[in-house]
Structure 1
Amino acid sequence: MFEDGVSNAEIARAVGVCAESVRRWRRAWEEGGASALRRRAATGRPPKLDDAQVENVRAALARGAQAHGFEADLWTLERVGAVVEQVTGVSLSRASVWRLLTGRLGWSLQRPERRAVERDESEIARWIAHEWPRIKRGP
């Protein structure tokens, strides 16, 4: 559209953006041609862990928390952070550990089901089958 001489306002209406964006695009196109309009890689701080380190962490976490000296086989952000530091030598904040787990490793939040240790499934089934109907009938 720039090559055809279409106005900024017409391009903005056709594409559905504001005219200021089209002016910025036209300036970039005039200075660098069509290649200047191509999408660029996202900028920002590079991750602290490279892909090889992330795979090492993935393998370490797959062995379970008890393999790393923890009493229960549950992962917390603090425990994962300690394993990351042990495996890679890189210290991560709790927020960075969360982003590592949910983003690069694809994990999700899981909470253990809270049940009494004394729970007896067979006794519960017996009570539901025999006692509850008797109680429901009444005296």
Structure 2
Amino acid sequence: MLMAGETIESVVQQLGISTPSAKRYKALLKEGGLAALENISVGGRKSVLDPTAFDWIAEALRGSPAAFGFETGRWTDGRLQQVIYKQFGVNFSRVYTRRIMIDLGFG
């Protein structure tokens, strides 16, 4: 997206990443091109959820939020955050919950 000329703000909003990360990625692209981005470490800690939990979340997202007591049929990061807490006892931030949705292909 950055290579295509998207603004930092647009990339941040569309991908749910932080502004400092987007700026760092843009600087890396400018300095070393796509190869520089491919060589960075993604970082962060390992999730407390295992692959089976992520499969469960993906299956939940394929269904209706109504199955979890929500009145309308649209998933939001806040709703998924509540469902993850009820199912797994883990309280992720809305930003990380949104990242989960995107990583599972529901962004």
The normalised TM-score by structure 2 is: 0.56
Secondary structure at 1:78 match in 2: helix
Q: State how many pairs are aligned.
A: 69
Q: Is residue 81–residue 97 contact of structure 2 (8 Å, CA) maintained in 1?
A: yes
Alignment CA distance shift 1:64-1:42 (3 Å): same
Alignment root-mean-square deviation, CA: 2.1
Structure 1 segments unaligned to the other structure (5+ residues): 1-16, 18-38, 109-139
Alpha-carbon shift at residue 88 of structure 1 (Å): 1.7
TM-score (norm 1): 0.44
Change in Cα spacing, 1:42 to 1:102, as seen in structure 2 (3 Å) is closer
1:86 shift after superposition: 1.6
* Aligned residue type for 1:65: P
| Correspondences of 1:1-139 after superposition (within 5 Å) | 43-103=43-103, 105-108=104-107
From the CA coordinates, give the structure whose radius of gyration is larger: 1
Q: Where does structure 2 lack aligned partners over 5 or more consecutive residues?
A: 1-31, 33-38
Highest RCO, 1 vs 2 (Cα 8 Å, sep ≥ 6): 2
Distance 1:59 1:98 in 2: 16
- Aligned-residue sequence identity (percent) comes to 30
Task: Report runs of 4+ in structure 1 exceeding 3 Å deviation.
Answer: 41-44
